[in-house]
Amino acid sequence: MKPLLLAIIAALGNAIFIYFQRASPVTPNQFLFSAGTLLSALLWCSLATYLMRTESDGDYIVTAWPFMLASGFGVFVTFVGFYLLHTRYGASQYSLVAVSSIFTVSIFVGVILFRESFNWIQVLATLLAIGSIVLFAIGRGMNS
């Protein structure tokens, strides 16, 4: 149950992020909202890092900075994608992100790159996710 609880916490944070992104005034510069959001997140992460600091933090930064830099690029792409999706098509389109993440994160990163275990129930869930994308697309077409 721990992974589910952590996933729910992450989902709540994501809902807060998407709500305020969608509720914010539209800007002609699609990067402005993301930059402000990242600055806010940096402040929150800096506070948490300070409160949880350890003696080995400096050593960790020395070895992990390339991974942090590449991960930051991933966050940038995510934020721009979220902004464009939600401001142009609405928050209800998030289902596409959630299901697409099953393939990009769970399958590609988890199973293929890191060789994490994946059982037949998870395969079945993935197949059902494919069905959900098809149904979502059909539903979207009905609204047009």
Please write the tens of the pLDDT for every residue from 42-96: 999 999 999 999 999 999 999 999 999 999 999 999 988 888 888 888 888 888 8
Domain interval for residue 73: 1-89
Q: 36 and 106, same structural domain?
A: no
Give pairs for 81-88: CB < 8 Å, separation 24+.
82/17, 82/18, 82/21, 83/21, 83/30, 83/33, 83/34, 84/30, 86/18, 86/21, 86/22, 87/21, 87/22, 87/26, 87/30
Q: Is the dihedral of CA 23, 25, 27, 33 positive or negative?
A: negative
Overall domain count for the chain? 2
Q: What is the pTM of this model?
A: 0.79
- The SS3 of residue 90 is coil
Which residue among 67, 89, 111 closes a domain? 89
Q: 54 and 3, same structural domain?
A: yes
As a whole number of angstroms, the distance between CA 46 and CA 35 comes to 16
Q: 85 and 132, same structural domain?
A: no
Q: What is the DSSP string of 14-27?
A: HHHHHHHHHHSPP-
Q: 105 and 143, same structural domain?
A: yes
Q: What is the mean pLDDT of the chain?
A: 90
